[in-house]
Amino acid sequence: MLKLLNVEMRYPNGVSALKNVTLTVEQGEFVYLVGHSGAGKSTLIKLLYRELVPTSGFIQINNFDLRQMKEHQVPQLRRTLGVVFQDFKLLPKMTVGENIGYALQVIGKSDAEIKEAVEQVLNDVGLEKQADHFPNELSGGQQQRVAIARAIVNRPKILIADEPTGNLDPQTTEGIMDILQRINGRGTTVIMATHNQQIVDELPHRVLEISGGKIIRDEQGGQYTHEVDNNQKTPAR
Amino acid sequence: MKWITIKRHLRDSLRSLKRNGWMAFAAISGVAVTILLVGISLALVFNVTKLSHDVESDVRVHVLVEPKTTTKQKAKLETELNDLKGVTKVTYSSKANELKKVVSQYGDSFKMFGGDDNPLNDVYTIKATDPEETMAIAKKAAKLDHVAKANYGGDEAKKLFRTMDSVRNWGVGFSVLLLIVAIFLIANTIRITILSRRNEIEIMRLVGATRWYIRWPFILEGAWTGLLGAIVPLVIIDLGYANVFRAVGRQLASSGYSLMTPGQLIWPLNLTLVVVAMLIGAFGAAISMRRFLKV
């Protein structure tokens, strides 16, 4: 499904963002990527949807070899992934329905198929009445739900979310997490970078902690902070 | 490309033009100003080319008949003129007719020379088969009986050719220069509108759109910008030219030359400018997008 082997990422300015990262994620897993700002989470996410190409190492996603692939194959890879961002990244001049439909339009689906899929996915995220609204007419939480709807509309095997709740209040965050859990429940792999301790602790899944460009913890059902850290912090409180 | 994709690109490009309101208006205005300048200079070049061609191919000899020449003598003279080598056509114009031309060109005050006071001569106008032969014809005609003078323009014609040539060359040079400026101006205006939409392009790439899928609506939008930008200047040029034709054409007609009629000029000019504006718009968009499409 998703394999990284000895992946190194060094930026042109010499900064080494990832060092010797090796990782496997199976179909249907829910993985939290945690770590401080600048730890390398976003770099890892960008490598997964091939915004960046690793300096060395091997990355395989949905049978695509990301290091060897040609530029013209990148859209093919991205059509097998859903990507959600903290800042939603919606097309401002398109309505909600058009934003979601665009992901299907680029793979040549007919207007009828697009209409049906968009209605269904808007129903899934609870925005069936907002199809004709423009993004700036929606709240942050609603915009993020549109972004998720767009990411899942063509039923990707993997959903990558880079701090999807970063700009949202706790109540809205809960709603977004409900949707992500449901998507995962249908068999979609979810990889989510987050700083939100409450989410990670209350909805336990596999936790990958990155620090200084290295994976320092890979724990099934882990907490946001490592138990040893918690124990160390407890007396201080 | 599938029909459904073409349809979507067309729809998306028009929709985007509408939804990008002010940016589109700015780009269209930029195109309009440039096309107006290019259009005016092209209209000038087309006409100078036509006029210089007219002058080159239409050098005539004017044979002034001596006063008091009888009708019989004039008929003999006309036969002799027709018999000269290289003559295709001999046209007669009485001195009363010549005065009419002067009046129409310089005004009614010349009517006072009517009747017996008319100082002009009867004139035979000779058209040569080859402009080169006009000088020889004029020399031979001057030697015939009852001929007061035979004019062929001579140095004046040569000077006119030189002036026309330089006006034409400068006009073409100016148009080419304007066209280059137009390309940069239009491409730059479109570039600014695309710069403001680089996030849009990034998002399109993220959801798996191929480069050409992203590019086409922008290219078409560029072409529509060119088309819409060309409409207002073309209307101005078309209406303006019709007026210029009426005003200048009347004066030129008395000298035997004419501007291109609006019918001759407007369609080729409109078509050229529309195609040029659309192509520049489309290329401008394609070039401006290049850097945002590097994956």
E strand spans, chain B: 60-65, 87-93, 123-128, 147-151
pLDDT at residue number B155: 57
* Alpha-carbon gap, residue A162 to A44, rounded angstroms: 10
Q: What is the DSSP string of B111-167?
A: GGG-GGG-----EEEEEESSGGGHHHHHHHHHTSTTEEEEE--THHHHHHHHHHHHH
pLDDT at residue number B16: 84
Q: What is the pLDDT of residues B22-53, one digit of tens each?
A: 888 888 888 898 889 888 888 888 888 887 77
pLDDT at residue number B2: 79
Q: What is the DSSP letter of A19?
A: E
Q: Which of A71, A106, A108 is opposite residue B207, by nearest beta carbon?
A: A106
CATH number of the CATH domain containing A11:
3.40.50.300
* Alpha-carbon gap, residue B53 to B57, rounded angstroms: 6
Q: What is the pLDDT of residues A143-184, one digit of tens each?
A: 999 999 999 998 999 999 999 999 889 989 999 999 999 999
Subunit contact A75:B8, Cβ cutoff 8 A = no
Is A52 or B136 the better-scoring residue by pLDDT? Answer: A52
Question: Strand, helix or coil at A76?
Answer: helix
The answer to whether B199 faces chain A, any CB pair under 8 Å, is: yes
**How would residue B256 be classed by pLDDT, with cut points 50, 70 and 90?**
low
> Can you give the pTM of this predicted structure?
0.71
Sign of the Cα torsion B159, B161, B164, B169 reads: negative
Subunit contact B16:A74, Cβ cutoff 8 A = no
Q: What is the DSSP letter of B108?
A: G
Q: Which CATH architecture has domain B60-152?
A: 2-Layer Sandwich (3.30)
Q: Which of A72, A89, A93 is opposite residue B206, by nearest beta carbon?
A: A89
* Alpha-carbon gap, residue A206 to A211, rounded angstroms: 17
* Alpha-carbon gap, residue B143 to B138, rounded angstroms: 9
* Alpha-carbon gap, residue A201 to B178, rounded angstroms: 67
Contact indicator for A170, A198 with CB cutoff of 8 Å? yes
Chain B neighbors of A75, CB-CB under 8 A:
205, 208-210, 213
Q: What is the largest CA-CA distance in chain B?
A: 96
Subunit contact B207:A93, Cβ cutoff 8 A = no
Beta bridge partners of A59: A4
Subunit contact B20:A102, Cβ cutoff 8 A = no
Disruptive mutation site among B206, B212, B214, B215 for chain A (greatest number of A CBs within 10 Å): B206
Among B13, B141, B23, B130, smallest CA distance to B78 is for: B141
* CA-angle at A174, arms to A169 and A176, nearest 5°: 95
In this structure, which long-range contacts are made by residues B149-158, counting pairs with CB atoms below 8 Å and at least 24 apart in sequence?
B149/B63, B149/B64, B149/B121, B150/B61, B150/B62, B150/B63, B150/B64, B151/B61, B151/B62, B151/B64, B152/B59, B152/B60, B152/B61, B152/B62, B153/B59, B157/B55, B157/B59
Please state, in angstroms and as integers, the Cα–Cα distance from residue B214 to each residue in A84, B13, B99, B286, following that order: 20, 11, 71, 10
Subunit contact A74:B295, Cβ cutoff 8 A = yes
Mind telling me how many Å the CA of A202 is from chain B's nearest CA? 31
The answer to whether B1 faces chain A, any CB pair under 8 Å, is: no
User: Residue A219 above 70 pLDDT?
Assistant: yes
Chain A neighbors of B200, CB-CB under 8 A:
91-93
The number of domains in chain A is 1
Beta bridge partners of A193: A33, A162
pLDDT at residue number A235: 38
* Alpha-carbon gap, residue B289 to B286, rounded angstroms: 5
Query: A78 to chain B: nearest residue by CA?
Result: B208
Residue ranges making up the domain that contains A18: 2-236
Query: A104 to chain B: nearest residue by CA?
Result: B207
Subunit contact B209:A102, Cβ cutoff 8 A = yes
Question: Strand, helix or coil at B259?
Answer: coil
Amino acid at residue number A163:
E
Mind telling me how many Å the CA of A89 is from chain B's nearest CA? 6
Q: What is the ipTM of this complex?
A: 0.83
Query: A109 to chain B: nearest residue by CA?
Result: B4
| The pair of three-digit structure tokens given for residue B140, joined into one six-digit string | 């031979």
Among B148, B152, B145, smallest CA distance to B87 is for: B152
The most confident of A201-215, B138-152, B155-169, by mean pLDDT: A201-215
In this structure, which long-range contacts are made by residues A118-126, counting pairs with CB atoms below 8 Å and at least 24 apart in sequence?
A118/A149, A118/A153, A121/A149, A121/A152, A121/A153, A122/A96, A122/A97, A122/A149, A124/A149, A124/A152, A124/A179, A124/A182, A125/A149, A125/A179, A126/A175
pLDDT at residue number B65: 92
- Every domain of chain B and the residues it spans: 3-55+158-293, 60-152
* Alpha-carbon gap, residue B213 to A154, rounded angstroms: 18
Subunit contact A89:B203, Cβ cutoff 8 A = yes
